[in-house]
Structure 1
Amino acid sequence: MNGLFVTEKITPKCPDFNPDDCEPGTERYDADGCCKICEPKTCIVLKNTTHVDVNDCKSIHPIEVTSCSGHCGTQSMYSMEKNSMMHICSCCQEEKVSHRQVTLKCANDSEVVHDYIYIDSCTCTARQCVD
């Protein structure tokens, strides 16, 4: 400045980083070597084993329950043709499901059969973006 050298400290603002959101083995530092980045998990089926509790009845054995999790593409871009912003959104949700049953034992020692939905596969599905 004004013919003089001035030292300036620049601290980069890194995006939030959660290793649980990364495809295994893809964690690395960005090109500047400052921020941790990775390839985000795509939309996948997550499995968890738990007991089911419904109306004071509990599954005799733990069962496998499923959910969809992962990142899907979203995009905002300006359209010259429409003279407005265009938004493209998709979310990770079930693609194929099956119906399963589990036997529950109730507090009064009776047994009931409970139906539940099991997710077989997940996919990124187009959705209307909320402005």
Structure 2
Amino acid sequence: MPPAFAGFQLPAPVAAAIDAINAGDGPALLALFAEGALVNDQLREHWGRAAIAEWIASDVVGQRLAMRIARVRNNHCHAVVEATVDGNFERRGLPDPLVVSFYFSAHTEKIDQLLILRNEPSE
């Protein structure tokens, strides 16, 4: 397992997706998604590989998104990755550090669904 994942158990497609995000490798990231997959990034839906390719180009590679894993929770075919994120995006009004939850669903070796949310801390 790569050093970035030391101490964390991640399904293979999730680990590969995080590697691709951190490397800025759009084609490798897109290859991990199933044909009819859904990405919902901050309540914006991207259905299917064509829409996901556009999202990757603009919001992942275009913004030089990088993730540093803080916590992982696995539940059957779902992995919730809480990560500190960085990149070239507008930070006005965002907390520092910016912690985001990535909800991955992978039933095979492909990602079927990815939900990305900035949750409010629980009290």
Structure with the higher strand share, 1 or 2: 1
TM-score (structure 2 length as normaliser): 0.22
Query: Which one has the bigger helix percentage?
Result: 2
- Using CA pairs under 8 Å that are at least 6 residues apart, name the structure with larger relative contact order, 1 or 2: 2
